[in-house]
Structure 1
């Protein structure tokens, strides 16, 4: 059962990464029409999210293949997203323009990678305790 869950999470991470790359780069390079649909874009957050999508794909493949590097990537992604989220919060508190959906998306991203990191931590901890 654990293998099925882990592979499902890996596929979800790959899908999330592909969608993140497509949506991010379409706003960055899609022209004025696409940019106007995006609304009040916070450029640093947009660039971070678009580029981090590639890491989502790598982490998802590692997760699917049960590669131990998946845990390192999940922790790193969660930490990096948290830092960018704090920067977004600072931007908002300073009166900067933003979209509420950006806050929602960052919440989803952080929750997703925290959940995967916790899952992998518990899996690792359980395996270590069970070893003779």
Structure 2
């Protein structure tokens, strides 16, 4: 197995795990909430909902990248773009005086950087 294929397989595994963790954390926040002991703080609901739903696409992209599928690289690009849009929405929300948690800003920054990196590596590494 070539170094590029090994790297893509590892990236696919990491992206899939990222997606599964996103589904778990987002699902707990959305469906369990504070009445079940989940401290959500100042939730920005559209961002939370986006992140949860994106978790399904993260898993799909991760599996596709692991398998070397070109569509998965394109999905990673779309995920990076949509995450940038939601991060921008969060910024506008904050600048408009909306309540938020610093951990949300940090998480969105991490998500944006992560999916930009995944998209870049996948687009360069998957050739069909």
TM-score by length of 1: 0.89
Residues 77, 13 of structure 1: alpha-carbon distance in 2 compared, 3 angstrom cutoff: same
Aligned-residue CA RMSD (Å): 1.6
The yes-or-no answer on 1:63 pairing with 2:65 is yes
Per chain length, whose mean CA-contact separation is higher, i.e. which structure has more relative contact order (CA < 8 Å, sep 6+)? Answer: 2
What does 1:25-104 align with in structure 2 at a 5 Å threshold?
25-33=27-35, 37-104=39-106
Is the CA contact (8 Å cut-off) linking 2:33 and 2:40 kept in structure 1? no
The yes-or-no answer on 1:22 pairing with 2:24 is yes
Pick the structure with more helix per residue: 1
Q: Who wins on radius of gyration, i.e. which is larger?
A: 1
Is the CA contact (8 Å cut-off) linking 2:42 and 2:99 kept in structure 1? yes
Is the CA contact (8 Å cut-off) linking 1:20 and 1:50 kept in structure 2? yes
TM-score by length of 2: 0.92
Q: Kindly report structure 1 stretches of 4+ aligned residues shifted beyond 4 Å.
A: none
CA positional deviation for 1:121: 2.7
User: Which ranges in structure 2 are unaligned for 5 or more consecutive residues?
Assistant: none
- The number of equivalent residue pairs is 126
